Chain A
Amino acid sequence: MRKRLWLTAPLSLIAVSALAALLAVTASAKPSAANAGGTLNLASAGADVDYSDPALAYGVLSWGIEYETCANLVSYPDKTGAAGSELVPDAAAGMPVISNGGKTYTFTIRPGIRYSDGATLKASDFVYAINRDANPAMQSPVVQFIGDIVGLNDVVNKKAKTVKGVTAKGNKLTIQLTQPDGALLSKLAMPFFCAVEPSKTPINPQGVLTLPGAGPYYIASRTAGKQLVLKKNPYYKGNRPARSSTIVFTMNTNQEATFLAIKSGQYGLDPNGLDDPNAAQGLAQQYGINKSRFFVNSLVETDYLALNTSRPAYASLAKRKAANYAIDRPALLRARGYLGGVRTTTLLPKALSGGYWGAKIFPIKGADPAKAKSFDPNCGDVTVWGGNTTFAQTQEGIVRYNLSQMGCKPTVRQFGGFAIYTAAGVKGADFDMMFTGWNQDYADPIDFYGVLLDGRNIHASNNNNYSYLNSAELNKRIDQANVLTGAARLKAFGKLDVWTATQLAPFVAIDNRNYRQFLAPNVAGYVFQPAFASVDLGALYVK
């Protein structure tokens, strides 16, 4: 009997301690509330910024942060809608003087701008920034956009030390191009062209973690993978909002937990957008849309199916039109959850279409298999490429169903991650239809048409023109529109877009995605910045 006795001792000890631990744990601290007094707590579920260095940052989350901390030559106002997509001078005193047939841009830097460490912003800081971008040791992604700057590629290819085409003299900054570029100003609004203080931002292939900012905020601290802190720039004199004194991002939080923490006010919001898309309908019913806590804005983005014109399945216009009739756009959109986007039949998002957006060239209420069949009575094998996430599989299932409804024999091939782009970018890849999408790098239609449909850019591999369309007529029209500027430019591209969808139909446009946002009860001042596809962080505040 004694053996039982001594064995019960540890057992009861365990039971008691387990109970005690449980009590201690449940009775301990309640969730900490969002700090009042100017600190805004944000959570980024399942993601960190890729880089905090403006020369390397290349993501929606990091650009939202760079937007608050950067002084660019030109930028976008802290406004929503059309007003937020209009370029305005930022560190420049006014719009540049363009000369030499559109090949020389001269900026005058506004005096009195200071970084968060008190140093004054100089025109030469922009020269340094662009040289730093081009430095081969940095391997900045910006080089894909600005090969037209004189001497830039020489630096990238280690043939020169400095970019010849960018010079500063006093408060004047001159940028010279090899050929005119109607989109240069939109490109210069990207954070890659953020003014940086040379002594505080050395060449570092891993990127600097913190740096002084000349915008309303600066990146005060960052622990990669965990946390990033923005603090108000004490020397900022501009009129951009900076309502919270500190903004703290907690990175890589748990998605469901973040959604509920925002609901209860522990975090202000998740800058990546709504964490539980399936909750959208409930939130819209409870809080209304764009009223108090639930906000929906359209992104400058298009999801579409690329139709491979180089293979028999979609070589003819009739077959491509048939595909456009066969696809059930609302069902595909519903897979994104309630208010996940707006249906469309053209490639350019509303903000870039010069008023031509919304042309219902193909049915947007649902599929029309009968009409599809009339265009393509004997559809055969169709190979569809897509992703392998649950969401992608849902959409692929819908397309498979739609295609078989019109008599095609679809096969779906699924890829993990970005493997699909590597595979589909090889000329001659054996897909007929491919799920893809495009969001703007800079706010200009050429970022869509030049990259996605200009046939002269087709190479042996790494293509983005997944339609493999090389239409002389389309190329000519792109060139014609590309020389224009301002409103005429958008109008020309909008018209071109409608023409392409009707006359060439190299894609099945599905939707323009929405940015859905859910706010904590104690947070206000929500503004969506469309050009950066981000919540305007400086405008937010704790009530």
Chain B
Amino acid sequence: MIRYLIRRIIWAFALFIVVTLISFVLFFLIPADPAKEACGKACTAPQVARVAHYLGTDRPVYTQYGKFLGRLAPISFSGGFHLKSPNLGRSFVNRRDVNTVVGQAAPETASLVFGGMVLWMLFAIPIGILSALRPRSLLDRASMTGVLIGVSAHPVWIGLILIYVFAYTFHLFPLGGYANFFGGSLTQAGGPIEWAKHLVLPWMTFAFLYTAIYVRMIRSNVMETINEDYVRTARAKGAPESRVMRSHILRNALLPIVTMLGMDVAAALGGAIFTETVFGLNGLGYTSIQSLQQYDSPTVMGIIVFATTAIIVMNLLVDLLYAWVDPRIRLT
């Protein structure tokens, strides 16, 4: 177990290095000069060169990447070995610490993703189970039709229609934006209710696709499990139906769902881009798109680092959790 753990962690590190390196080189190849933009529009060539040196963009890519890793590493050797906090650098556009930018955007994305997850699981679990227990029933047919529409409609389109109908026409919800969960600002009311009110439509948009995917998955998992030998055995031994359901069918059918959920959430933390863009939520996805348009590579890299870490850590956790819960899995 320990050996497996160590190997997985080393591998996770290697993945992290390769992903960030590839991303870094990609941004290095951008044909736009951030120094020109930072210098000012009337700058002459020598002035731009000076700003490029200040930003560090005049150095070769390996130097820049090395500096990037050096800032990011939690340890430092300059002035003796010591611990430090990881630093993602500064934005080219407004010199803000990328740590702060990511820290400000992450709660909005997390609110969207975790709230959306609760919403889609609330719908997907009962619908998935019920339609598996009653295949070809009216509920099953309706939910399968819903699933097909769910995986076929574009989230952007769903979002736009929801805004037009529920926010613009009927004024039930705000058109977009975000309200803080804890306390408001001078101009905007905050608190849980405002927060939820701003997020209802984004949650619905975000959950639309995933509800469909999870209904289908839960349904097929439950249907598979029902026919397993151990379920039949349990029934034959005269176990009460509710117990068979709970400890044999659901336990085994929903376990893989939990692992998938972990990975979907991890992926979404870096990529709820469409929902965020449509609703003007300044989360990680929307921020990365805006920064990409301004060629603000430190900020985009910061978000990539955050998202990659989320994915790798979540994968690791899910694997370990799964191995712990299900002893049949060999740790290789």
Contacts and interface: CB of A to CB of B under 8 A. Distances in A.
A–B direct contact (CB < 8 Å):
yes
Interface of A: 2-4, 6-7, 10-11, 14, 18, 21-22, 24-26, 28-29, 32, 39, 41, 43, 46, 48, 50-51, 56, 58, 139, 141, 143-145, 156-157, 205-207, 224-227, 229, 248, 250, 252-257, 260, 267, 415-419, 421-423, 425, 438, 441, 447, 451, 457, 459-462, 464
A421 B36 contact: yes
B241 interface: yes
Nearest to B172: A26
A254 B175 CA distance: 8
20 contacts: A3-B241, A7-B126, A7-B130, A24-B193, A26-B173, A41-B186, A46-B280, A139-B38, A144-B39, A224-B96, A225-B104, A226-B185, A227-B185, A254-B280, A256-B175, A257-B175, A260-B168, A416-B32, A416-B293, A417-B294
Q: Which of B126, B176, B279, B294 has the most CB of A within 10 A?
A: B126
Interface of B: 30-33, 36-45, 47-48, 50-51, 54, 90, 93-97, 100-101, 104, 122-123, 125-126, 129-130, 133, 163, 168, 172-177, 185-189, 193-194, 196-197, 200, 240-242, 245, 279-280, 282, 293-295
A66 to B, nearest CB: 15
Nearest to B296: A417
A2 B125 CA distance: 18
Given A29-B189, A207-B95, A224-B100, A10 B45 contact: no
Contacts of B200: 22, 25
Contacts of A418: 32, 36-37, 294-295
A423 B30 CA distance: 11
Contact of A461 (B45, B196, B241): B45
Nearest to A142: B40
Contacts of A145: 42
Contacts of A205: 95
Given A32-B188, A226-B185, A417-B295, A422 B31 contact: yes
B39 A459 contact: no
B187 A462 contact: no
Between A143, A145, A423, the greatest number of chain B beta carbons within 10 A of the residue's beta carbon is seen for: A143
Nearest to A227: B185
A445 to B, nearest CB: 14
A413 to B, nearest CB: 12
A267 B43 CA distance: 37
A415 to B, nearest CB: 8
A464 B124 CA distance: 58
B33 A422 contact: yes
- Closest 4 A/B residue pairs (Cβ): A254-B280, A254-B176, A419-B32, A257-B175
A26 B51 CA distance: 51
Query: Which secondary structure characterizes the binding site on chain A?
Result: mixed
A232 to B, nearest CB: 15
Given A3-B242, A14-B126, A252-B282, 7 more contacts: A25-B200, A29-B194, A50-B94, A206-B97, A224-B96, A250-B185, A461-B45
Contacts of B122: 14, 18
A23 B177 CA distance: 21
A441 B42 CA distance: 9
A139 B56 CA distance: 13
A207 B197 CA distance: 36
A460 B188 contact: no
A438 B42 CA distance: 10
Contacts of B188: 32, 250
A237 to B, nearest CB: 27
Contact of B174 (A14, A143, A225, A257): A257
B172 A419 contact: no
A391 B46 CA distance: 33
Contacts of A460: 45
B280 A139 contact: no
A248 to B, nearest CB: 5
Given A2-B242, A225-B282, A418-B32, A248 B95 contact: no
B193 A28 contact: yes
A58 B282 CA distance: 23
Contacts of A425: 36
Given A7-B130, A28-B197, A462 B241 contact: no
Contacts of A3: 133, 241-242, 245
A18 B294 CA distance: 41
B44 A144 contact: yes
B176 A257 contact: yes
Given A32-B187, A254-B177, A462-B36, A21 B196 contact: yes
Contacts of A14: 122-123, 126
A464 B194 contact: no
A386 to B, nearest CB: 15
B311 to A, nearest CB: 25
A440 B45 CA distance: 20
Nearest to A389: B293
A103 B87 CA distance: 47
Contact of B42 (A7, A32, A256, A447): A447
The residue in B39, B44, B242, B295 that gathers the most chain A C-beta atoms within 10 A of its C-beta is B44
